[in-house]
């Protein structure tokens, strides 16, 4: 019984790690090949969605920082001139 649980946990962990870079259809294919249940697939899809949200937030923050740096540079340019 423990081997089965450990085997399932290993397959589930592989799915979670691979979920980050996969599309939804690729994720479904991997989950079928790993023979994990729908709950694991749902968790992997959630991880994928959370990653996309975090990427958007990070890009927005980086954009804001870049804008602030450029504004500061423009102010310095005005002071120097």
Structural domain containing residue 71: 2-80
Angle formed at CA 48 by CA 24 and CA 40, multiple of 5 degrees: 75
Tell me if 76 sits within 8 A of 48, measured CB to CB.
no
Q: What is the DSSP letter of 22?
A: -
Question: Which distant-in-sequence residues (6+ apart) come within 8 Å of 19 by Cβ?
Answer: 27, 30, 44, 45, 47, 48
Looking at the 3D structure of the chain, how many domains does it have?
1
Q: Tens digit of pLDDT for each residue in 24-78?
A: 788 778 777 777 777 777 787 788 788 888 999 999 999 999 999 999 988 888 8
């Amino acid at each position: 019984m423990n081997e089965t649980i450990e085997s399932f946990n290993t397959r589930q962990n592989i799915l979670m790690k691979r979920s980050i870079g996969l599309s939804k259809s690729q994720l479904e294919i991997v989950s079928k090949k790993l023979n994990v249940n729908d709950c694991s697939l749902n968790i992997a899809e959630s991880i994928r969605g959370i990653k996309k949200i975090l990427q958007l937030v990070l890009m927005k923050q980086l954009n804001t920082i870049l804008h602030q740096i450029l504004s500061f540079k423009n102010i310095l340019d005005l002071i120097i001139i």
